[in-house]
Structure 1
Amino acid sequence: MAVFGAVLLVVGCLAGVLALLAWLGSRVRRRGVGGDVMGPFDEIWHPAAHRFRAEIRVYGERVVPPRSGEPEGVV
């Protein structure tokens, strides 16, 4: 019976750690923070996300600043 309790404790701790990491990963991706940290892992395991992040970075560099005297958002 003690072995069953020990196995249950180990499995419970492992599940807790994995749930914490999943929550942390979703929070980091939702906020857009940590792209440099998650970048190599996305490139390995989720290449589409890595390419998407690169396209967004390129698009952000291409945005034309508004001309002086015009309010932002009006093109």
Structure 2
Amino acid sequence: MAEFATVLLVVGVLAAVLTCLVWLGSRVRRRGVGGDVMGPFDEIWHPTAHRSRAEIQVHEERVVPLPSAEGPPGAAEPE
């Protein structure tokens, strides 16, 4: 019986760790902080991914917001 309890405990701990990793992965993807954490590892083992992520980040910083369809704030309505 003790062997069964040990196996059950190991499987339970493994399931808890995997569940936490899935949750952490989804949180990182939603918040977009994965690049900061994984950047050095990508640069070492997958340089093309690191370069493309850097290009995407530069492009996002350069994007100019589009003007509103209503025109500038405080503008009079056309007649």
Coordinate RMSD, CA, aligned: 2.4
Relative to structure 1, the CA distance from residue 58 to residue 19 in structure 2 (aligned partners, 3 Å threshold; closer, same or farther) is: same
TM-score (structure 2 length as normaliser): 0.59
Q: Deviations over 1:48-67 (max 9, x none)?
A: 5x454223212124335xxx
Q: Within 5 Å, which residues of 2 pair with 1:16-27?
A: 16-27=16-27
Structure showing greater relative contact order (alpha-carbon pairs closer than 8 Å, 6 or more residues apart): 2
Runs of 4+ residues deviating >6 angstroms? none
What is the one-letter code of the residue matched to 1:56?
I
Number of aligned residue pairs: 64
TM-score (structure 1 length as normaliser): 0.61
Unaligned runs of 5+ in 2: 68-79
User: Larger Rg: 1 or 2?
Assistant: 2
The percentage of counterpart residues that share the same residue type is 70
